[in-house]
Structure 1
Amino acid sequence: MGENISVTKIKHLEKFMQNIPLNIFFKDTECKYIYASEICKNLNKHGDDWTIYGKTDLEIQPFPELGRQYYEEDKKLIQNGGSLCYTSVFPMEDKDYYYEIKKQAVADDNGNIIGIVGTVTDVTELMTMRNKMEEYYMTDPLTGLYNRKYLEAWKKVEAPIYPISFISCDCNELKHINDTYGHEYGDQLLCFVGELFRTYLPKNCCAIREGGGEFLIICNDTSEVKAKEIVDNLVNKAKHLYVKGHKLSIAYGMVTMNEENYDFNEAHRIADCIMYEAKRAMKKLQNQS
């Protein structure tokens, strides 16, 4: 009778666990799953007969890098104790899914670690909203390019891929168009610049509007020769863009740095100096024509 009650209680406990409003998992000291709620069990689909139980993340994760990360974390928890909390992104076909993962080592009454308990929370909606807000916060609304807030954030977490090239840019006709035709047409010129950069810059480059008609292009993994090709292409593509009869004219100044001489502030200063020299030369040539 007592044994039947014990079995019943165990079955009831399993039902409680299945219906708890939380995605939860347990692992043993070999980092193998001994219990998992539905979201965990559904991470890998191998048919109705497949089970997550008795397997590690190395075996069940559809993304091998995540599987290795989770497994190594589990081994450290089993060895050293403690807890972890972080957000993982799962790049699925339709969109990216974000899950907050919390896990903690569990010890018995003698302090011996007997396994891991963890929870998985879907935070996709929250992270998507946060990413959109950050993008909005760091984007110039007129040109659609990044703004100075993005540049400041980039400087704090920068991880240059060398060689890295910086291209300073300034719109030559912006003040004249603003003063002569009004800011509506000056804005149109800036929109053309934004479209030009978004369309023709390589993926390893990002363009930032620093203010007025000044822009900075940061190009990772870009040699001096490649940076010059990028500028030449931008100049060529801008030849057919006009605002109130004025061709879109941009002065460029570029500098390339390697790991041994890299300094952002110095690179920015040099690129600006070269750009202003080019701007003066273009104005002089225009006055002579």
Structure 2
Amino acid sequence: MFKLNFLSTLELGFTYIYTAAFIIFALGIFLLYQRNKRIYLWYFTVFAVLSFLANAVDILYYYYNFKILYFFYAIFILFEAYYLLKAVHTYFSLELDQFYLKTLKFLVFILILSSLSLNRFVIFAPALLFLAAAFFKSGEIFFNQAFNNYFKFAGANSWALGTIVFFLPYLRFNSYFEKYGIFLKGLFALLFMLSIFAIYYEDLQYRLKIREEQYQKLFNQSPAGMLLLDKDGTIITVNDSICQYTGYSREELEGESMFKNLVPIEYKIRAQKNIQDILNGEDKEYIMKTYDKKNKLKYFLMKETKFIQSNFRTAILSMRIDYTDYKIKEEKIKYLSYHDNLTDLYNRTFMEEEMKRLNDSRRLPISVIMIDVNGLKLFNDTFGHQKGDQLLIKTAEILKKSTRASDLIARWAGDEFAILLPSTSKKDMKKIINRIQKNCEQTNKDQISISLALGAAIKNEENEDLFEIFELADKRMYQQKMSQGKKAKRKLISNILLSLAEKSHEDSFHIQRLKEKAADFADYLKLKSSEKNKLIELAELHDIGKISISEKILNKKGKLNKKEWEKIKKHSEVGYKIAAASKEFASLAKLILHHHENWDGSGYPEGLKKEEIPYLARVISIVDAYDVMLNKNLYSKKMNKKEAIEELNRAAGSQFDPALTAEFINFIE
């Protein structure tokens, strides 16, 4: 057994306490590091562990009195000093001077050389001086960076420890210090450790305060509406944004139940369930439809989560972003995705979805009507696509006017429409078809008259496929279109001619005279009956393309400018398109196109000459010119018969076919 006197025992006891304190300090700091992962806490942990190891070696020396232990004691002290400097510098975000690392390396080298002598004083004196310097430097930093008394307290203890450590090699020879020195060293060491914990706690409180202020600032200044609710739905606090969103003041919201002003009655049960779910740890995100103080419709994107207040009470953080504009746009996009943007009827996509739904429905019988607008292409070629769009819009209006609110009407394709009639018998379906036809007939005298081909079919049994019923209705519609198409297009041509007559009053008389003269000249030329009829139709339709020319240009008095004349010249091409769009008049299309070509190739639109120009086109150009000469028009003065014949002779061979001109002059004389 080792025999120790009272003083040695006392010193050893304090050393145990001192060592135990460093163990507790090291564990405490390490646990804090594990929680916060701040590097300075790791450095303090290493410092505390090295301090513990140094004191453990000191205790071993008392027991075994091995001088070699002082070598390890000095090593631990050197690195203890370095990690103390690292910890303090890192805490204050300061750069550690490389001088200390170089000094550490140098002292370790000296220590290794000194260990050969095994002289106690020579071994640990440089290490203790380095540790003292570390404590002095740390104390200086604590005082310089101090912003409260905890830092000054740590600085004072650091200087006290530095002083004790600095004089430790000499004080060991002092009997008073030998008796009480270890107590003072342990006391200041404990106080230093406590001051580090106090600094950490103060730093933590400061950071929490800053964070709370930042959270509060974020809460108050957030563009999102934010409020805190207790477990019963009572509003604890709100920010300014939510007041702006809802129109209510803070006084009207705080302390009141959210169900009073912010939650519509239809959302109450859902909101109560949300509160329970959130308190159980579930986050919520949804869109809520509500109304502000002025009863204006609002949509909010809601995000709600559990929140622990600074007083450790559980609350609900409810955040909302004004979603109104986005929701309106979203609904508009959804509306457009299922509606035709021209007629505002449902589109084919929507109708097909409804067909799938109704296919399994028991709302029998389900009637289907397919509709096609007769002559839309001809109408577009004649009046332009804007007028064609008006025709489709007018058709849609007739269909809506003729059906019930529960019926589904869709624009199925370009000129086709479809009507779904759930729970509609054949008898009721026929009533709707009759209303459609009657409303179309009422447009006969309008500038835009409507002619429709209709086909219908009915699903009476559940096992019948609604899509096949659609195909049957479409087939029947097409059959009617084929049987009525000729009549419908003829009616459209008549309407075009009537419209042209209204735009230019002399045209109606001119066409009538032209038809009579063309018929007589055809007899004179001994044309076949089919050619004669074609010539008479050509006389009626040759200028039909003028429907595309504005009334202002058609009736302009005086000479046309270049731009206006170019528009006039386009009428033969427009007339060609109108005639070509109808099988009945397709044979006249080329004749209409070329009736303004000249014998010498100076005409329009293609500059054909001589026999390249169709025969009947050459005939009608002479008859047309002669009638214009004899009757007053906007472009030239009225001539008598003699003057007209002279003009025909003058233009023969240039504008007109010379042989046909001679024949025509003989005919009229």
Matches within 5 A, 1:15-94: 17-38=219-240, 40=242, 50-57=252-259, 59-61=260-262, 63-79=264-280, 81-90=281-290
Structure 1 stretch displaced more, 120-129 or 222-231:
222-231
Instruction: Tell me the CA shift for residue 74 of structure 1.
Output: 2.5
- Residue 273 of structure 1 corresponds to which residue in structure 2? 472
Is the Cα–Cα contact under 8 Å of residues 455 and 473 in structure 2 kept in the other structure? yes
Give the whole-Å Cα distance in 2 for the aligned partners of 1:113 and 1:152: 55
- Residue 189 of structure 1 corresponds to which residue in structure 2? 391
SS in 1 for 2:412: strand
- Residue 140 of structure 1 corresponds to which residue in structure 2? 340
2:316 partner letter:
I
With a CA cutoff of 8 Å and minimum separation of 6, indicate the structure with the bigger relative contact order: 1
Q: 1:104 aligns with which of 293, 296, 305?
A: 305
Distance 1:51 1:113, change over 3 A: closer
Instruction: Tell me the CA shift for residue 210 of structure 1.
Output: 1.9
2:469 partner letter:
I
Q: 1:124 aligns with which of 324, 329, 340?
A: 324
Q: Is 1:240 paired with 2:439?
A: no
Is the Cα–Cα contact under 8 Å of residues 170 and 250 in structure 1 kept in the other structure? yes
Q: 1:208 aligns with which of 375, 388, 410?
A: 410
Distance 1:257 1:23, change over 3 A: farther
Give the whole-Å Cα distance in 2 for the aligned partners of 1:203 and 1:39: 43
- Residue 419 of structure 2 corresponds to which residue in structure 1? 217
Q: Is 1:253 paired with 2:452?
A: no
Is the Cα–Cα contact under 8 Å of residues 235 and 253 in structure 2 kept in the other structure? no
Structure 1 stretch displaced more, 45-54 or 15-24:
45-54
SS in 2 for 1:67: helix
Larger radius of gyration: 2
Instruction: Tell me the CA shift for residue 23 of structure 1.
Output: 0.7
More strand by share: 1
In angstroms, what is the RMSD of aligned CA positions?
4.8
Give the whole-Å Cα distance in 2 for the aligned partners of 1:257 and 1:69: 42
Give the whole-Å Cα distance in 2 for the aligned partners of 1:117 and 1:192: 54
Structure 1 stretch displaced more, 175-184 or 244-253:
175-184
Structure 1 stretch displaced more, 187-196 or 11-20:
11-20
SS in 1 for 2:255: coil
Instruction: Tell me the CA shift for residue 136 of structure 1.
Output: 4.3
Instruction: Tell me the CA shift for residue 166 of structure 1.
Output: 5.6
Distance 1:211 1:95, change over 3 A: farther
Instruction: Tell me the CA shift for residue 174 of structure 1.
Output: 3.2
TM-score, structure 2 normalization: 0.33
Instruction: Tell me the CA shift for residue 130 of structure 1.
Output: 3.5
Could you list the per-position Cα deviations for residues 147-194 of structure 1 after superposition, in whole angstroms to 9, with x for gaps in the alignment? 334446767999998637463322252367459847646544322212
Distance 1:238 1:146, change over 3 A: same
Structure 1: unaligned runs, 5 residues or longer: 1-8
SS in 1 for 2:397: helix
Instruction: Tell me the CA shift for residue 95 of structure 1.
Output: 6.4
Give the whole-Å Cα distance in 2 for the aligned partners of 1:229 and 1:39: 58
Structure 1 stretch displaced more, 158-167 or 48-57:
158-167
Distance 1:63 1:201, change over 3 A: farther
Identity within the alignment, %: 14
Give the whole-Å Cα distance in 2 for the aligned partners of 1:37 and 1:54: 15
Is the Cα–Cα contact under 8 Å of residues 174 and 189 in structure 1 kept in the other structure? no
SS in 2 for 1:236: helix
SS in 2 for 1:211: coil
SS in 1 for 2:228: strand
Could you list the per-position Cα deviations for residues 61-114 of structure 1 after superposition, in whole angstroms to 9, with x for gaps in the alignment? 4631123332233233334x3222222333788864321111123479xxx993
TM-score, structure 1 normalization: 0.67
Give the whole-Å Cα distance in 2 for the aligned partners of 1:76 and 1:106: 13
Distance 1:105 1:179, change over 3 A: closer
Is the Cα–Cα contact under 8 Å of residues 56 and 71 in structure 1 kept in the other structure? no
Is the Cα–Cα contact under 8 Å of residues 177 and 183 in structure 1 kept in the other structure? no
Distance 1:203 1:42, change over 3 A: farther
Give the whole-Å Cα distance in 1 for the aligned partners of 2:442 and 2:411: 22
Structure 1 stretch displaced more, 43-52 or 134-143:
43-52
Could you list the per-position Cα deviations for residues 91-150 of structure 1 after superposition, in whole angstroms to 9, with x for gaps in the alignment? 788864321111123479xxx993422211012222333433444455434433333344
Give the whole-Å Cα distance in 2 for the aligned partners of 1:77 and 1:68: 14
Give the whole-Å Cα distance in 2 for the aligned partners of 1:94 and 1:160: 41
Distance 1:25 1:133, change over 3 A: same
Give the whole-Å Cα distance in 1 for the aligned partners of 2:330 and 2:243: 28
Structure 2: unaligned runs, 5 residues or longer: 1-210, 488-669
- Residue 374 of structure 2 corresponds to which residue in structure 1? 173
What is the count of residue pairs matched by the alignment? 272
Could you list the per-position Cα deviations for residues 219-274 of structure 1 after superposition, in whole angstroms to 9, with x for gaps in the alignment? 5xx4214655544443333331247786422414254679xx388xx213203313
- Residue 552 of structure 2 corresponds to which residue in structure 1? none
Instruction: Tell me the CA shift for residue 55 of structure 1.
Output: 1.5
Give the whole-Å Cα distance in 1 for the aligned partners of 2:355 and 2:306: 37
Is the Cα–Cα contact under 8 Å of residues 411 and 418 in structure 2 kept in the other structure? yes
Distance 1:55 1:170, change over 3 A: same
